Amino acid sequence: MFSRYFDGWEVRPDFEKEAISLWPNWLGEANLHKLDEVTENEWAHFNSLLKLIAEKYEIELADCDSRSVSKMDDIEKTLCEYEDSMSKDASQFSKYVIPGLDCVLTEDWDYTYILWHKNNGAVEALAPLIAEIGLYHFHA
């Protein structure tokens, strides 16, 4: 199952990228100051999104070191608090597989998650959940 989605530490290149963010598009240099203004409550939208997705879909956690994915019974066990999240490096970012939608959701830099999909309806299925939480999505 791991190799269906990943090639080493990276999501396979045949997946498309959809950004999930606090903003409706990339900030650009003129708005980079907004990254410093994000509150803990705004950041918490991402954990809320993961909980909402877990209510509707089976989610598996990918472990690139062991090259495996494992079914999760409790998404809460993988969620970080705000302070912990701010000190993560890229190797500690979470990678989730949503088998029912044949997609991957990865934590990324600058208050962004990436939805890796194959134009098979995953974006359309998750779009209402993303909007419900108060986040935005756009082609990355």
Report DSSP letters for 40-108, one per residue.
HHHHHHHHHHHHHHHHHS--EEEETTTTEEEE-S-GGGGPPPHHHHHT--GGG--EEEEGGGTEEEEEE
Q: What is the pLDDT of residues 114-123, one digit of tens each?
A: 999 999 999 9
The pair of structure tokens assigned to 115 is 């939805």
Put simply, whether the predicted model's pTM sits higher than 0.85 gets the answer yes
What is the predicted pLDDT for the residue at 134? 97
The answer on pLDDT for 44 being more than 80 is yes
Spatial distance between the Cα atoms of 97 and 115, rounded to a whole number of angstroms: 10
Q: Per-residue pLDDT averaged across 115-140, rounded?
A: 97
The answer on pLDDT for 63 being more than 90 is no
Question: How many Cβ atoms sit within 10 Å of the Cβ of residue 19?
Answer: 19
Which element (helix H / strand E) includes 96?
strand 95-98
Are 19 and 105 a contacting pair, CB within 8 Å?
A: no
SS3 content of the chain, % helix, strand, coil (to 5): 40, 25, 35
Q: Per-residue pLDDT averaged across 45-58, rounded?
A: 96
Token match 């909980």: residue? Answer: 51
The pair of structure tokens assigned to 50 is 């993961």
Of 85, 61, 64, which is closest to residue 75 (Cα–Cα)? 61
Query: What pLDDT band is residue 102 in, cutting at 50, 70 and 90?
Result: very high
35 contacts: CB under 8 Å, gap ≥ 6: 27, 110, 111
Where are the strands (E) in 22-67, listed by range?
Answer: 60-63
Higher pLDDT, 83 or 94: 94
